[in-house]
């Protein structure tokens, strides 16, 4: 049973259904790895051993009776941004250090209904604001490929946990690249679905016109299985779209013959590491070999994604985070003199440096006299970027480019300069601004470190994006590479 | 776009954030640089472009039936509050 931890979701589901091993065995094997890895990787904020084993026993009983959902008995982890009833939800912040949600997020509820076993809550950048997992109040996560390097962020804990095979899959969220960028830097598969595809009920809000929940897994086939259980209409989320969820697994094997692939011209810019570019171009040649037709597509306004994002996201963050006031939940300062002191000190103490920077940036761009020049202007440029994508998808079926400009960087390398850190998301933000589904899949190694290929599709084309990713994973094995010491 | 120390104090006040003396100059420097960086948007011609607030263009907000669907959970919710008495959230005295 020593190999239980190496299996993906699809393989585990088949093994559990065939009763080749039990959920308790699988869950124990993963819990043991999580506990062993915690000192080195710091991927988890909470580990829920007892609850997990109780869920595993229930799953085993269901499986023995021939019942159990698509994920029955499979251990997974949730990013600590998803509310879990009875288990604290910190969002990586001191503000929510003692917050225990009175309800489950819809995503948590749906995965539990599918039989998944929650083994814990993963570490993340504070309130999902960061690209390196260094803004967490609970300490940075380390990259299993090299503990001196960051795992990416903000879903760094979920990505490191899947890369080190501590769990076969984990939930994550993506506001400007927080699923895809850590997936690329950790050598795994990460899917951000279409805006509105996955319910955000119980997902702590950062930037409401951009946030979307998704999955981190080893393979696209595993992502298809997990997304199928998470996606769907939720009357509790006003941005949830009432569109049927297709059978993503059944559609994985679509042939690529005649598929029109657009090379995102603006992504092959001077900031892209030459070796990283080479790995992406190698993957593009594989696609040509599989029958896809490549054309270069230009989205001239796309390079403005980062400045648009750093107006829109902080603006929305400043209003969303206004709810943390030290009154109803969250951190409260000691001995407040008056109500103003209560607000200001509770927030000043409860939020970390980057969160405060974003709140202040957002407050400024929304304030009287600056609203038109910054916020409305950014929304107009956002419309231009969106129009670029609409035009591109009239010509091609998917857009492909790199996920990040470089492989993982060292801890501390970019913390001094926020703009250097923000530019990490230069290739990922566009899909959030336009609300498009996008996946990052491993496409090779650069100086021994994984890099990602990004595939972007039109709205609600998750099945297509997954099938294009799956096709690459049928003829390459980059997604099966496990960092040294974690096999 | 260099922000002054007074502007930083004003923004912090609007955002209800108490800054330590050490934090103020850090935010003065980084917010000024962020505003310079996003300032490049001013050069883009958007004269005939409508602002885009979210990606769900064409989708209307749903309305739900006017029916009671939630039950009272105030004790459960208030378990997360810093101070509560008699079912009420306590804050420092507001009116003298």
A262 Cα to chain B: minimum distance (Å): 22
Question: Which of B16, B30, B89 has its CB closest to that of A328?
Answer: B89
Domain ranges of chain B: 5-39
Contacts of B39 in chain A (CB under 8 A): 307
- Residue A129 CA to its chain's centroid (Å): 12
| Secondary structure element (H or E) that encloses residue A469, with its range | helix A462-475
Q: Whole-structure pTM over 0.80, yes or no?
A: yes
- Residue A227 CA to its chain's centroid (Å): 12
Predicted ipTM of the assembly: 0.96
Residues A193, A214: Cα–Cα separation, whole Å: 6
Whole-number pLDDT of residue A159: 98
Domain ranges of chain A: 4-258+397-480, 303-379
Q: Which CATH architecture has domain A4-258+397-480?
A: Alpha-Beta Complex (3.90)
Residue A225: CB atoms within 10 Å = 25
Site from B41, B56, B73, B84 to mutate, A interface, most A CB atoms within 10 angstroms: B41
Tokens found for residue A177 = 């690249």
Identify the closest residue of chain B to A339 by CA–CA distance.
B92
Which of the following is catalytic: A178, A219, A305, A440?
Answer: A178
CB contact under 8 A, A348 and B19: yes
φ, ψ dihedrals at A295, nearest 5°: -135, 150
Q: What share of chain A is helix, strand, coil (3-state, %, to 5)?
A: 45, 15, 40
Strand partners for A174:
A212
Identify the closest residue of chain A to B53 by CA–CA distance.
A379
Q: Does B95 touch chain A (CB under 8 A)?
A: no
Cβ atoms of A451 and A442 within 8 Å: the answer is: yes
Burial of A243 (0-12, 13-18, 19+ CB in 10 A): middle
Residues B19, B25: Cα–Cα separation, whole Å: 10
Whole-number pLDDT of residue A1: 42
Which of the following is catalytic: A22, A79, A132, A158?
Answer: A79
Contacts of B26 in chain A (CB under 8 A): 353
Residues A341, A441: Cα–Cα separation, whole Å: 48
Tokens found for residue A35 = 């506990």
Tokens found for residue A96 = 């929510």
* pLDDT tens across the length of chain A (487 residues): 448 999 999 999 999 999 999 999 999 999 999 999 999 999 999 999 999 999 999 999 999 999 999 999 999 999 999 999 999 999 999 999 999 999 999 999 999 999 999 999 999 999 999 999 999 999 999 999 999 999 999 999 999 999 999 999 999 999 999 999 999 999 999 999 999 999 999 999 999 999 999 999 999 999 999 999 999 999 999 999 999 999 999 999 999 999 999 999 999 999 999 999 999 999 999 999 999 999 999 999 999 999 999 999 999 999 999 999 999 999 999 999 999 999 999 999 999 999 999 999 999 999 999 999 999 999 999 999 999 999 999 999 999 999 999 999 999 999 989 999 999 899 999 999 999 999 999 999 999 999 999 999 999 999 999 999 999 999 999 999 999 999 9
CB contact under 8 A, A380 and B42: no
The class that CATH gives domain B5-39 is: mainly alpha
Q: What is the DSSP string of A181-237?
A: HHHHHHTSEEEE--TTSB--TTB--S-TTT-EEEEEESSHHHHHHHHHHHBS--TT-
């Amino acid at each position: 049973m020593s190999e239980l931890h190496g299996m993906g979701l699809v393989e585990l589901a088949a093994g559990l259904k065939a009763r080749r091993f039990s959920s308790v065995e699988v869950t124990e094997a993963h819990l043991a790895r999580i506990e062993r890895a915690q000192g080195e990787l710091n991927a988890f904020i909470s580990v829920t051993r007892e609850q997990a084993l109780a869920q595993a026993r229930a799953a085993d009983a269901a499986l023995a009776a021939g019942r159990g959902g698509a994920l029955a008995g499979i251990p997974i982890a949730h990013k600590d941004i998803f509310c879990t009833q009875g288990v604290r939800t910190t969002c990586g912040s001191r503000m929510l250090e003692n917050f225990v949600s009175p309800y489950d997020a819809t995503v948590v509820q749906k995965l539990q209904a599918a039989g998944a076993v929650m083994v814990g809550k993963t570490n993340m950048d504070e309130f999902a604001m960061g690209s390196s997992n260094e803004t967490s109040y609970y300490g940075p996560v380390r990259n299993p490929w090299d503990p001196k390097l960051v795992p990416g962020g903000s879903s760094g804990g979920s990505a490191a946990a899947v890369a080190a095979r501590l769990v076969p899959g984990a939930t994550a969220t993506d506001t400007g690249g927080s699923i895809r960028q850590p997936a690329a830097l950790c050598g795994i598969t990460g899917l951000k679905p279409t805006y509105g595809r996955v319910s955000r009920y119980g997902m702590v809000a950062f930037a409401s016109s951009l946030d979307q929940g998704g999955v981190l897994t080893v393979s696209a086939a595993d992502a298809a299985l997990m997304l199928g259980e998470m996606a769907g209409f939720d009357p509790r989320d006003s941005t949830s779209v009432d569109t049927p969820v297709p059978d993503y697994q059944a559609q994985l094997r679509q042939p690529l013959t005649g598929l029109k692939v657009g090379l995102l011209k603006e992504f092959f810019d001077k900031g892209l590491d030459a070796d990283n570019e080479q790995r992406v171009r190698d993957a593009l040649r594989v696609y040509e070999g599989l029958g896809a037709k490549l054309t270069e597509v230009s989205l001239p306004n796309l390079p403005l994604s980062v400045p648009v994002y750093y107006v829109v996201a902080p603006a929305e963050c400043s209003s969303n985070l206004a709810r943390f006031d030290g009154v109803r939940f969250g951190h409260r300062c000691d001995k407040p003199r008056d109500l103003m002191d209560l607000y200001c000190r509770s927030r000043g103490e409860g939020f970390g440096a980057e969160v405060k920077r974003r709140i202040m940036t957002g407050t400024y761009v929304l304030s009287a006299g600056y609203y038109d020049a910054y916020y409305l202007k950014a929304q107009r440029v956002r419309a231009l970027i969106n129009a670029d994508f609409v035009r591109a998808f009239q010509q091609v079926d998917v857009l492909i480019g790199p996920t990040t400009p470089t492989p993982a960087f060292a801890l501390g390398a970019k913390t001094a300069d926020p703009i250097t850190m923000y530019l990490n998301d230069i290739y990922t933000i566009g899909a959030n601004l336009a609300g498009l589904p996008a996946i990052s899949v491993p496409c090779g190694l650069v100086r021994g470190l994984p890099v990602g290929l990004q595939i972007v599709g039109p709205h609600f084309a998750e099945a297509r994006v997954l099938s294009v990713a799956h096709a690459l994973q049928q003829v390459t094995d980059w997604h099966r590479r496990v960092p040294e010491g974690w096999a | 776009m260099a922000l002054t120390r007074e502007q930083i104090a004003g923004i912090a006040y609007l955002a209800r954030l108490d800054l330590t003396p050490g934090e103020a100059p850090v935010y003065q420097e980084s917010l000024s640089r962020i505003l310079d960086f996003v300032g490049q948007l001013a050069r883009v011609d958007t004269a005939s472009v409508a602002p885009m607030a979210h990606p769900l263009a064409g989708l209307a907000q749903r309305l739900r039936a006017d029916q009671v669907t939630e039950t009272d959970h105030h004790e459960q919710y208030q378990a997360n509050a810093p101070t509560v008495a008699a079912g009420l959230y306590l804050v420092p005295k507001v009116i003298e």
